[in-house]
Chains A and B, each alone.
Chain A
Amino acid sequence: MTAGTKFFVGSIALVGAVAYLIYAGVQQTGVYYFKIDEFLARQDSLAGEGVRVAGRVAVGSVTKKMTPKGEELNFRIGDFVSEGEVKETVPVHFVGVTPDMFKAEGGSDVIVEGKYRDGMIHAQSVMTSCPSKYEAEAQQQQGGAVPGAR
């Protein structure tokens, strides 16, 4: 066997290892990512699963409480529509540091990640996606079409 062939065999092994790492990594750490409407449509089948859901905080649904472990945040998220048009929502529970851009009155666009249990998302993280909205709004103001923006 020439050195080249040996190297080829070795590299196949390496490529296989990388492929396996990727496969196992996805299996172990993959999390479903839904927009709120997709989540609501199939929430029954997601009990106990790790989920990541993007939605808009329903106006007036936010309650905050100081606890020794941090701020306890309870709110509901619904579809990306203006106030009053929101029909269905799902409750979210979170203890930690409230993101800067999270508005206490509601209306922030958020991505929450955590476990869906007992009809509630127990979030490990709440992220606001405002900075991107910032530019999108600006573009709309200028009259430009924004196909990429939600």
Chain B
Amino acid sequence: MTDVGSMALAIGWVMALYAVVMSLIGAWTRKRDFVASAEHAALAVWGVVVVAVAALLHALVTHDFNIAYVAEYSSSTLPLYYTVAALWGGQAGSLLFWLLILTSMSAVVLLQNSGRNRELMPYVTATLMLISLFFLSMVNFITPPFERLAFTPPEGRDLNPLLQNYWMTIHPPSLYTGFVGCSVPFAFAMAALATGRLDDIWIRTTRRWTLLAWFFLSLGNLFGAEWAYLVLGWGGYWAWDPVENAAFMPWLTCTAFLHSVMIQEKKNMMKIWNMVLIILTFLLTIFGTFLTRSGVISSVHSFTQSGLGPFFLSFLGLMAVISFALMIWRLPLLKSENELDSLLSRETAFLMNNLVFVGIAFATFWGTIFPVISEAVRGVKITVGPPFFNTVNAPLGLLLLFLTGVGPVIAWRRASWGSLRRNILIPFSIGILGGLALFAGGMRHFYALLSFSLCIFVSSTIVMEFYRGVRARQVMMGEAPHVALVRLIAKNRRRYGGYIVHVGIVMMFLAFTGTSAFKQERQITVNPGDSFEIGGYTLKYDGIETKDTPHIAYLLATVGVFQDGELVETLHPEKRFYKKPEQPTTEVAIRSTLGGDLYLVLGGFDQDTKMATIQAYVNPLVSFLWYGGLVLALGTFVTILPQRAPAPAPAYASGSRERVATE
């Protein structure tokens, strides 16, 4: 099977190269059969990658420890679920997995466009296959997944215990899907540049792909946060680690892109900017993979470090040169046909939002690579940690939150102060009142007050938007409120789905604010029977038990959680000792309520005295992060569903022309 796998990858490499060359020649010489042949080759690449993945999965499941990868990342006692997940647990496997997603998406793109966008398609194929070719080169020449060992070890070294967690099994696939998904709009952008078809056809064709990529990027980031929260045991979910930033930066530019393409669709402006954004997003996905895979910036929880760096950097440079060169060549055609009509318009709000998104992305980028820059410039490595990212990004994030409230209620093109005031006065007053109420209730944290007020303001604008839409339908169509609500959303999925996503974002801001402004932390060493207090809870440490299984040995502490003198829950923070490889891990215990989490870590334990060090955290509102993620997913789902009938959207009526996505 594995020989089949490596052979498949070798064939795939040749096929991908063939597809790139043939589609370009076909496009330049206008030979249709060349282009068709290239497309068939691209589909074949998908086929052989599937074969290779199947071969590796087969090797993993049958415990073929003669394969270095299998011996390294699995064992015979590893549960099947994690054995399959070991496919993306290590370097070679995850590159192969990446290829699987990329070539599958390429195949879908080819099939979707077999009868349309024919002018663009040769370049789309060439771009996607060029990216595939790079990853195929990696798995063929640099980290071959089917490499055999000189001997067959009796047992594998097993998957790193920290990765044996549900969230860690779904985090890489979603992130990769998000990363790879960005390649599709990028490929269409390149095709638009190459052919000079620079109207919004490439944007409309890829709208759903971009949303899909964005959706998985969002989820990937959230799953990673959830994993860090549950597994790393330091009480938080986000540490601004280079690897985390690597996934966050493309999300930022992709979000900016999703907003700014609306301006191009409506007003034919911002063509250059949109190009820049999609190119940046794509480059950041490759840069992100480079950061994660190369270990160039040492990261605390970097599971991967190898000599892939130079190859990634070269590929990154090559793609940057090609894409920006194409763009500069086409600059005359990218000139905007329209100008900003008024400073008081939704366009301005969107542009500001874009600037802030890119600003956050840049600050994050700068902070991430600052050790490298400072070393090059000053000869000393200077690192910046979470305080840097928080001080820089918190005000920018709050500005963004404010714009989330303003954007939807301000008219396109030219808003009048009167109408803006009418739309914004009520939500704004509610926000201010909410802030005052919190202040009266004793809250003195400036950022928290600002953030909560903004959350209330934004929620109010969204509620008002829904209310107005429902009212209008009730009056005009005579529908019952719930029918009106469902139809309102169904007929304007893009708009109201967007609002639902905004609700999710507001919920996440509640969590960010709660956990950063009001987090409580206490670390204490206690004897069995001792009690201590944190954030309204009284915790009583009762002692420690041990438990042994063939795979893991456990140390379980018992901690009673009391509130107002009553036992509300018993928590068991653990230490686990994995036997293969020998590695201890910490398993946190959490009491989760909507108001906040009580998060316990068993820090240390003394066999003789039975004393234990317990680290307790209270993380207010943290659940809103996960619920916000659910709402965000729901909203994206609404926007992504195909829209059947074009519906008039009242608020867009002032815009130049209405266009409903038809693809």
A residues lining the B interface (CB < 8 Å): 2-4, 6-7, 10-11, 14-15, 18, 21-22, 24-26, 28-34, 52, 54, 64, 66-71, 96-98, 100-101, 111, 113, 127, 129, 131-132, 134-136, 138-139, 142, 144-149
Given known pairs A18-B363, A71-B525, A111-B300, the reply for A66 and B606 (CB within 8 Å) is: yes
CA distance A113 to B239 in the complex (A): 15
Give B212 Cβ to nearest chain A Cβ, in Å.
30
Q: Is B303's CB within 8 Å of the partner chain A?
A: yes
Give A92 Cβ to nearest chain B Cβ, in Å.
17
- On whether the beta carbons of B615 and A26 are closer than 8 Å, the reply is no
- On whether the beta carbons of A127 and B300 are closer than 8 Å, the reply is yes
CA distance A142 to B395 in the complex (A): 48
- On whether the beta carbons of B295 and A148 are closer than 8 Å, the reply is yes
* One of A21, A31, A100, A144 near B392 (C-beta < 8 A): A21
* One of B157, B300, B384, B524 near A129 (C-beta < 8 A): B300
Give B147 Cβ to nearest chain A Cβ, in Å.
7
B271-299 vs A, Cβ < 8 Å mask (1 yes, 0 no): 00000000000000000000000111011
Write out the residue numbers on chain B whose beta carbons fall within 8 Å of the beta carbon of A134: 160, 303, 581
Total number of B residues with any Cβ neighbor in A under 8 Å:
74
- On whether the beta carbons of B363 and A22 are closer than 8 Å, the reply is yes
Given known pairs A22-B392, A25-B392, the reply for A14 and B355 (CB within 8 Å) is: yes
Q: Is B396's CB within 8 Å of the partner chain A?
A: yes
CA distance A52 to B162 in the complex (A): 25
- On whether the beta carbons of B339 and A29 are closer than 8 Å, the reply is no
CA distance A10 to B525 in the complex (A): 54
CA distance A26 to B525 in the complex (A): 36
Given known pairs A26-B382, A33-B383, A127-B300, the reply for A96 and B523 (CB within 8 Å) is: yes
Known: A25-B384, A138-B72. 10 other contacts (CB 8 A): A2-B339, A4-B340, A18-B359, A32-B382, A97-B603, A97-B615, A129-B298, A132-B305, A142-B68, A146-B305
4 nearest interchain CB pairs?
A97-B603, A33-B381, A18-B359, A29-B387
Write out the residue numbers on chain A whose beta carbons fall within 8 Å of the beta carbon of B301: 131
Give A98 Cβ to nearest chain B Cβ, in Å.
6
**B-side interface mostly:** mixed
- On whether the beta carbons of B300 and A26 are closer than 8 Å, the reply is no
A and B contact pairs by CB, cutoff 8 A, 30 listed: A3-B341, A10-B352, A11-B352, A14-B352, A18-B392, A22-B367, A24-B391, A25-B367, A28-B388, A29-B387, A29-B391, A32-B380, A33-B382, A66-B604, A67-B525, A69-B523, A70-B524, A71-B603, A96-B603, A97-B523, A97-B613, A100-B575, A101-B584, A111-B300, A132-B295, A132-B299, A135-B306, A139-B306, A144-B306, A144-B307
CA distance A20 to B380 in the complex (A): 22
Residues 324-359 of B contacting A (Cβ, < 8 Å): 339-343, 345, 348, 351-352, 355-356, 359
Give B150 Cβ to nearest chain A Cβ, in Å.
9
Give A142 Cβ to nearest chain B Cβ, in Å.
5
Instruction: Name the residue among B90, B302, B305 with the largest chain A CB count within 10 angstroms.
Output: B305
Write out the residue numbers on chain B whose beta carbons fall within 8 Å of the beta carbon of A18: 359, 362-363, 392, 396
- On whether the beta carbons of B525 and A70 are closer than 8 Å, the reply is yes
Q: Is B91's CB within 8 Å of the partner chain A?
A: yes
